[in-house]
Amino acid sequence: MALILNRTLVLASINTSYTQQLAINRNRMGITGDNYKHSAALLKKLTIICFRIAVLVSLCYNGYNVLVTLNLLNHTSTPDLAWLYTRLLPDKYFGYNVDYYADSKYMKTPSSQVMIGPTSDMYWPIFLNFCWSSFTETLIAAIQGKKPYTETGITIFEHSLAFQEFSSNGAFFFTNSKYHKRPTEQVLLATLFSIFNHLNIHIGALINNNKYRLIPSTIIGMAFLTYFISTFSQWKVLQFPFILILTFTPQVLILGIIFISFTIFIIAIMINGFELKGLNYASFFLHELNEEEDEDTLSLNINLNDDFYTALLNVGILAITSAGKSSYITELSLITVDNDTWIERSLWQQLKQKLTRNNIRNVKSRDLVQYLRDNQISGYANLISQPSSRLITGTPYSDAVEVNNTSQEQSVWRRRIEFMKVMIIDAWQLIYGLLVDSFLLDYLPGLFRKRQLNHEETNEEFEKRKQRIPQFLQKYVTRRVSERSTAISTDLIPEDELTSRLLIGDRELSEVDNSGDYIDEPDEISDSEYESDEEIEEIIPEDTPTSIYDLFTFEDFNEIITSPNTLLVLQQHMQYSGNGPLTRSHYRDLHPTTQLPNSMNNDATKLIELIIEKRANKSHIPNNELLSRLECVICQTNIREIITWPCKCFAICENCRLSLVSKGIEGCVCCRREVEGVSKVFIP
């Protein structure tokens, strides 16, 4: 029987798509005859409701019978849930009346038995009822072209096996068995929950088409599973029918797994600071939140019209597959523990949070310094990852827009307006500077002055002018001298005076040199004199370290002698037998082809060569020395890596920064300026 029913059910569910098609066709045909269709639909609806109500009534009756039997069991023996029965099943309503049940076929107390109460025969009508219920559901589903809601907790097949195992032998079809067995509590309770499930299906179908079936189904299912788990103690679970043990043990395990997973998830959330963000499984819930309108497709693969055991299985599969991927182990991997301590985190943020509460838009340097002072934090604790332009340009306490901090907060329009403001101010300053400062104040008076000063003042004019000025100012008045005559023409001044003037340097010399070549009296210079000069050069530095020694060492002199060009010049100089010493023009006369080695052009190249050479020498300094220049000024061992704002002293290392923070030292260690923050600098 059960097998047949099961097959019909399976067939019905396979045929649904076909029946749906049929239903649609029917609907299409019915478009023409509205009246007929309406009445037919009503009739169909009524029939379905009648079917359901009939099933409901019989289910209620059987349920009542089960409850009565349970109540009886409570009196005759000591069931597990005795406390529940005594509280919930008053004798007044659920008492077993022997006389009343004497007529009923399956609930009567058998005459051949000593005991009171129904035998296991009572399972039979219940089973028939289940069959009927399933059949009705399948039939209605087939008529309506829907998927039938099946009871997945305990199928009819399982019921039949369970009842068979616990019923009296030989009770065939509609006959009463001769060997009686008592209905056991476990089977009765399983039956009761099954009845509830069937009731749930039919009531749900009547009320809202089983839209929220999962909720009552979960309550019933959880209740039964709880009872099932509770029977594990004292091995009472073995009193369940074998098939039920087989069915429910996996579900208990699944429930356990889900429970463990959920616990892990909760712990992860707690560790994450009660935030879902960043967790592996948060995606399920966040997704759910994002698509609230789409109620039917939850990411957990559960539909609200599902039944409890299907949902349990789906969640269980999810949990088990996740466990297989060992994602619980990595669940916390995405939780990023802040690498920074409070010391490292930028104080700007803390400050900003504080100040934004007071609606202050631009955090200013002054505020920060004040904040630091108020909280007795040294600026070294403020690690800035991206120094703002104000810090870099170093404008102290400017109210300039903090590009770094405000760009995100301000709207595009506000920023544009601010830029416009700056532009307008700049343009105004430019115009003002050009018009007023240079033109009006400098250029125009300059015009007048020029006209006045074009002629040189004579002594008489000067005296006249002096008379006009008040007496106490007269001593400050000087005679005007034409500016053009300041540069003295070299031609006008005798030669010996020229050098003295040049040395005194009170006035510029004219650049035009009209003097002839220098010609001196023939004067023999002996070699010994040169040597003595050399000796002096050698001796002087040893005695007194004068500034000349710093500029020009004996080595440099040696270099000059050994360099080929100068050597040539020196040779010429020594061998020159003309009039007086060798001058440049003489040299040029002697060597017209060769360019003078120490001409202007050559000097420049030589200087560059020298610079390059010196630099090359400098770069050859061993690395140690270079590194020692970069040693932290405090510990003098580590390399400098912290730059302080806004003074931009690059002097300390990270360790020393931390010790400065712990010591609460304020101000830059090098320049004593207020430290607003520091940044780490990396020297590759």
| Residue 642 is a binding residue for other proteins (CB under 8 A) | no
Stretch of residues binding other proteins (CB under 8 A), selected from 181-189, 222-230, 241-249, 632-640: 632-640
| Residue 672 is a binding residue for other proteins (CB under 8 A) | yes
Q: Which of 321, 452, 558, 637 binds other proteins (CB under 8 A)?
A: 637
> Mask 182-211, x = binds other proteins (CB under 8 A)?
------------------------------
Residue 681 CB, nearest approach to other proteins (Å): 17
> Mask 74-93, x = binds other proteins (CB under 8 A)?
--------------------
Measured from the CB atom, the residue of 474 and 628 that comes closer to other proteins is: 628
What is the spatial distance between Cα 252 and Cα 247, in angstroms, rounded to a whole number?
Answer: 9
Q: To which H or E segment does residue 587 belong?
A: helix 584-590
Residue 380 CB, nearest approach to other proteins (Å): 11
Residue 522 CB, nearest approach to other proteins (Å): 48
What is the spatial distance between Cα 144 and Cα 209, in angstroms, rounded to a whole number?
Answer: 12
Q: Which of 20, 633, 648, 650 binds other proteins (CB under 8 A)?
A: 633
Q: Exposed (0-12), middle (13-18) or buried (19+): which is 657, by Cβ within 10 Å?
A: buried
Alpha-carbon radius of gyration of the chain: 55
CA 681: distance to chain centroid? 23
Measured from the CB atom, the residue of 572 and 638 that comes closer to other proteins is: 638
Residue 665 CB, nearest approach to other proteins (Å): 7
> Mask 591-630, x = binds other proteins (CB under 8 A)?
----------------------------------------
Residue 669 CB, nearest approach to other proteins (Å): 4
Residue 240 per-residue DSSP state? S
| Residue 636 is a binding residue for other proteins (CB under 8 A) | yes
Does the bond joining 396 to the residue before it have cis omega, within 30 degrees of 0? no
| Residue 650 main-chain phi, psi, to 5 deg | -110, 90
| Residue 663 is a binding residue for other proteins (CB under 8 A) | yes
Residue 645 near residue 385 (C-beta atoms within 8 A): no
Q: Which of 222, 635, 639, 681 binds other proteins (CB under 8 A)?
A: 635
Residue 102 near residue 207 (C-beta atoms within 8 A): no
Measured from the CB atom, the residue of 325 and 672 that comes closer to other proteins is: 672
Binding-site size, other proteins (CB under 8 A): 16
Q: Which of 81, 203, 355, 669 binds other proteins (CB under 8 A)?
A: 669
Could you tell me which residues come within 8 angstroms of residue 198 by beta carbon, excluding any fewer than 6 positions away? Answer: 55, 59, 129, 130, 133, 134, 151
Residue 505 CB, nearest approach to other proteins (Å): 30
What is the spatial distance between Cα 239 and Cα 190, in angstroms, rounded to a whole number?
Answer: 12
Measured from the CB atom, the residue of 168 and 655 that comes closer to other proteins is: 655
| Residue 468 main-chain phi, psi, to 5 deg | -75, -20
Residue 546 near residue 540 (C-beta atoms within 8 A): yes
What is the spatial distance between Cα 392 and Cα 679, in angstroms, rounded to a whole number?
Answer: 11
Residue with tokens 């957990």: 300
Of 260, 254, 250, nearest to 329 (Cα)? Answer: 260
| Residue 277 is a binding residue for other proteins (CB under 8 A) | no
Measured from the CB atom, the residue of 202 and 640 that comes closer to other proteins is: 640
Q: Which of 367, 659, 673, 680 binds other proteins (CB under 8 A)?
A: 659
| Residue 650 is a binding residue for other proteins (CB under 8 A) | no
Residues 97-156 that bind other proteins (CB under 8 A): none
Residue 632 near residue 652 (C-beta atoms within 8 A): yes
What is the spatial distance between Cα 584 and Cα 566, in angstroms, rounded to a whole number?
Answer: 13
Binding site for other proteins (CB under 8 A): 633-637, 651, 655-656, 659-660, 663, 665, 667, 669-670, 672
